[in-house]
Amino acid sequence: MIKNYIKIAWRNLVSQRLFSFINISGLAVGLAVCMMIMMYVAHEMSYDRFHENADRIFIPQQSFTMNGNTMNMEYMSYAAGEIIKQRQPVVKDYTRTMAYFKPVIASNPEKPDAKFSEKNLLFADGNFFSFFSFKLLSGSAQHVLDRPFTVVLSEDMAKKYFGDENPIGKTIVLKTDSAFTYQVAGVAENNPSNSSIKYSFVTSNQSLLQMKEAKLYTGTKDISFGNFLPYLLLNHASDTATLRRSLDLMAKQDKTFDKVHYSLSALSTTHLKSNFGDSSNLKYLKIFPLVAVLILLLALANYMNLSTARATLRAKEVGVRKVSGASRKTIAAQFYVESALFTTLSFVLGYVLCYAFKPWFLNVLQLKIDSSFLYSPMVLILLAVLFIITILIAGSYPAVILSAFKPVATLKGKMSKATGGVAVRKVFTTLQFALSVGLIICGIVIDRQLYFFRHKDIGINRDNVVMIPVHNTFGNNYNAFKQDVAQLSGIENVATSHHSMFHGYDMVSINGKTKDDITMVASWMGDDQLIKTLGLKWKYAPATGERLAGMDRLVINEAAIAKLHLPVDPVGSYLQSGDQKFKIIGVLKDFNYSSLQSEISPLILFTPPAKFPFFKRDGCNLFAKIKAHTNLPTLLGKIQSLYKKYDADTPFDYTFMDDAFNAQYQAEDRLSSIFSVFTYITIALASLGLFGLAAFTIEQRTKEIGIRKVLGASIGSINSLLSADFLKLVILSIVIASPVAWWAMHNWLQGFAYRINISWWMFAFAGMTAILTAVATVSYHALKAALANPVKSLRSE
Amino acid sequence: MIKITELQKYYRTEEVETIALNKLSIEVKEGEFVAIMGPSGCGKSTLLNILGLLDDPDGGSYLFNNIEVADFNERKRADLRKHNIGFVFQSFNLIDELTVFENVELPLIYTGVPSSERVGRVEKVLDKMQIMHRRNHYPQQLSGGQQQRVAVARAVVNNPKLILADEPTGNLDSSNGNEVMELLTDLNEQGTTIIMVTHSEHDARYSHRIIRLLDGQTVMENIMI
Ligand SMILES: Nc1ncnc2c1ncn2[C@@H]1O[C@H](COP(=O)(O)OP(=O)(O)OP(=O)(O)O)[C@@H](O)[C@H]1O
Ligand SMILES: [Mg+2]
């Protein structure tokens, strides 16, 4: 029986090639999108769950409120982990890590010339490899980190620095603040793509303690904020409530932090919760599954649309089968088998598409997913579930509709209109177009907002400014370097800034009237050329003859006046931070020193003199304003050779301020590119749906069209008669989609302090796109029907 | 009114070429009522379709009111057709989604008659066909005879000079069939030229002249009195 079904299904597939192709590939595209997003979401959800004790590992988070601002801290002093373990019996074990905050320079002493800058040096306690479940390819988990200055390399690093040799026992030089030689004690697997703990090199905290700047990192001897992330292994996952309460109590008793509250975040949630850096993933994670489900439903609706439309042409077959004794059940089973065959082909094609476009997708999202993850049992199970759901849904509607045909009616060739399910099809098509229109509107709004960001006047002249990070390895040579660069032709001006632009800032506490009244304000530090180089404008300029540079002075922005309760023109007033006093010598007009997503907050700009040792100790950035029409590669080459003169080891690096500015909107950029692809796919699927609907309804109206032609209807009038029906659906879909899209985008825009207005032309544009697409799609069938010789259609009666 | 000379029509399918009309020559004068008879497959419908400008011949000449129309393009044919020719089919060919009134109104819409004038004209023919009381019914709600009366009403609403009828009584019982034949006779008496294909000798007796076809050629003409 099944064999007979499959045979007939196959014949239908082959004899109706165009239809089959459209049907299978349409569903395949939907499935491919769905699979891709499913893998992505599964990957995000799987973060850190591969650790054996994942469900019992927690990170304590401290939060405290100061002047109305709640601060969350998860980095603690070195001592914190041990103290917590001592005093909290539910904590079975702990391990601490400190990710070194900047790249280090690594080299194999046997090949001293091959130096590379490497990210992800991790300092960790000796039990790191037994606490977590990262696999060691060589070395024993208990002993690899039990001495100072031993290191575990990731597989990639082992290959990079030692090639095919066995690196165990060999040495490698890692230059942090100064260069240290480490003995390789083990090689670990590369950290899995779904690990929030990243490492290329893992060395012991004991090594850190031996460095001269150790004190800077380890912090106080009690529980306080610091640089270490303490991971706690609890006896039972359910101990969190107890632990949280007794940590709060402990904080109260110690009085070190009496206003602190603790919470515990599970290891497996840290990735999604982390709001540092790129928070875009969370945005995608909310939007994508919705889009995936919608696109899959769209594709399924199309599939059902087309296959029922096509199958009504087979009404006669159903009639004959019923007359020859088939029950409704067997007919339903037959169509189910057919659907299963089609769906299977779609699924296979979808899988191929998904893998073909995966690199592009991951690239746009700037993601890395281990290929081992893609073949993990979890993903395979998800795929199987998707497959089964698709078959069940895809087969159901056609089977029900088609098996319900009445034999007498179908045999007489009098398929009544109702059995075709035209109404259902119309609903499907309308929803599909509504989704397309909605996505187009969203796409336009996102695109315009990004354009607005890129072109808004932010009060900083950011064109042609190159930012060059300079490290403390420059020692006393920084000023000489700065002078050299300033001398180059093509350089208009140079300035020093502590931070590079659009990469964050410091906070400084400003004393209020009472001892407890402290206000935290964003702070920035630069030399006296910074304001000029960036083209910042004065609100209240310094008095003539007043020096800009000096340890005792600072500049604020307009927003700071109100926040710090200063007089309207505060020039000449004083601010106190700790026990230091500063004179306000000028007020800058507000400018956007961070992303346009937020309002301009109060800012203090310290302007120490050029000799200030802080820059030397901490490193800084040289901002060079380049004259227009300068040959950039040549100029950058010259700057690089000057740089190498003073610091041969640290790689030369530079960023244009423009690029840094634009990079702030990377998340939105990516969202926008992915969105446009989703939009194209949706439009394509909706058109496909309309194509099917048009084919079907027009087929049913051939007799009517024939009669109208005999009576004198022109081709144009028939074309518009047929198209008008579909246009009504499209217009309805625009009416449905517009308010929803408006609402969604209105909410999205609320996330930005600086935003565009949603205007009517965006809706008009989206509507026109939908209408033109629909007209083009329908016209194919409408014209075909209008051009057909009426004698033929009437003859078949 | 109609003069065809050596008219030819072939149908080519993958395997065979059928000669539906083989150098057929016929003349029909204005005001005539002609019946066309012959065995199934002899080319009667094909002839009617060509006469009605629904299809074009593969050879020969077709003078309609002394104008050569054999090589007219689709648009010109449609134009000539909608002003001059009415059709009645065996299977009525009414549009199921439109009411009786709307079906009859269609030809007027396509010839651009203003809607104020349309209502009066449609009502007049519906009255004449004695189907006025059914004006708001849909075709499925009518008997075969009633449907054919609607089809005739639709064929004549534009006052065509020529009515082509392809087995107009083929789907009707004899009393309904006779009614339709009476209608056609009335129209003919008022001056409309009628060409009718039929299998029934009885119906053919209503006509002035019978043209008998065999394999796409005239074999005999009977003149009735
Ligand atoms: N579209 C077509 N394709 C191929 N052959 C056709 C086509 N239309 C008609 N024929 C052939 O042309 C010949 C004439 O057909 P036509 O329909 O004119 O016959 P008819 O005299 O009207 O027959 P009937 O009395 O059964 O209606 C037949 O042999 C028929 O098979
Ligand atoms: Mg015939």
- Cβ neighbors of B121 (< 8 A, separation 6 or more) are B108, B113, B157
In a domain, residue B25? The reply is: no
Averaged pLDDT for residues A482-496: 89
Output the CA angle A450-A456-A458, nearest 5 degrees: 125
Q: Which residues of A touch B93 (CB under 8 A)?
A: 703, 706-707, 710, 794, 797
Residues above pLDDT 90, as percent of chain A: 21
Residue B99 to residues B9, B102, B106, B107, B182, Cα–Cα distance (Å)? 37, 5, 11, 14, 25
First to last CA, chain B: 21
Q: Please tell me the residue having the least CA distance from ligand 1 atom 24.
A: B40
Indicate whether this model's pTM tops 0.90: no
ipTM confidence score: 0.77
Q: Give pLDDT, residue A435.
A: 87
Which residue of B74, B81, B89 is in closest CB contact with A794? Answer: B89
Q: Which residues of A touch B110 (CB under 8 A)?
A: 708, 711-714, 717
SS3 A95: strand
Residue A313 per-residue DSSP state: T
Averaged pLDDT for residues A705-731: 86
In a domain, residue B35? The reply is: yes
- Cβ neighbors of A674 (< 8 A, separation 6 or more) are A284, A361, A364, A365
- Quick check: A280 pLDDT over 60? no
Q: Give pLDDT, residue A297.
A: 87
What is the count of structural domains for chain B? Answer: 1
Chain-chain contact of A711 with B93 (C-beta, under 8 angstroms): no
Q: How far apart are CA A459 and CA A589, in angstroms?
A: 8
Q: How far apart are CA A119 and CA A106, in angstroms?
A: 10
Domain of B179?
A: 30-58+73-223
Chain-chain contact of A712 with B81 (C-beta, under 8 angstroms): yes
CA dihedral sign, ordered A10, A16, A19, A21: positive
Q: Give pLDDT, residue A325.
A: 62
In a domain, residue B13? The reply is: no
- Quick check: A66 pLDDT over 80? no
Q: Give pLDDT, residue A157.
A: 92
Residues above pLDDT 70, as percent of chain A: 92
Number of H helices, E strands in chain A: 27, 24
- Quick check: A174 pLDDT over 80? yes
Mean pLDDT of all residues in chain A?
84
H or E element, residue B120: helix B115-128
Q: Give pLDDT, residue B30.
A: 93
At B75-93, the pLDDT tens digits run 788 788 888 999 888 888 8
SS3 A479: helix
Q: Give pLDDT, residue A277.
A: 43
SS3 B37: strand
Number of H helices, E strands in chain B: 7, 10
In a domain, residue B202? The reply is: yes
In a domain, residue B38? The reply is: yes
Q: Which residues of B touch A (CB under 8 A)?
A: 45, 49, 52, 54-55, 74-75, 78-79, 81-83, 87, 89, 91, 93-97, 106-107, 110-111, 154
Averaged pLDDT for residues B31-43: 92
- Quick check: A412 pLDDT over 50? no
Averaged pLDDT for residues A97-115: 85
In a domain, residue B157? The reply is: yes
| Type of residue numbered A347 | F
Residue of B nearest to A705 (CA): B95
Q: Give pLDDT, residue A407.
A: 59
Residue A187 to residues A148, A195, B1, Cα–Cα distance (Å)? 17, 17, 103
Q: How many CB atoms lie within 10 A of CB A18?
A: 8
Q: Give pLDDT, residue A281.
A: 62
In a domain, residue B169? The reply is: yes
- Quick check: A263 pLDDT over 90? no
Higher pLDDT, B125 or A269: B125
CATH number of the domain to which B209 belongs: 3.40.50.300
Higher pLDDT, A639 or A407: A639
CA dihedral sign, ordered A234, A235, A239, A244: negative
B11 lines ligand 1 (CB under 6 A): yes
Chain-chain contact of B93 with A791 (C-beta, under 8 angstroms): no
In a domain, residue B16? The reply is: no
The answer for B33, left when phi > 0, alpha when psi is -120 to 50, beta otherwise, is beta
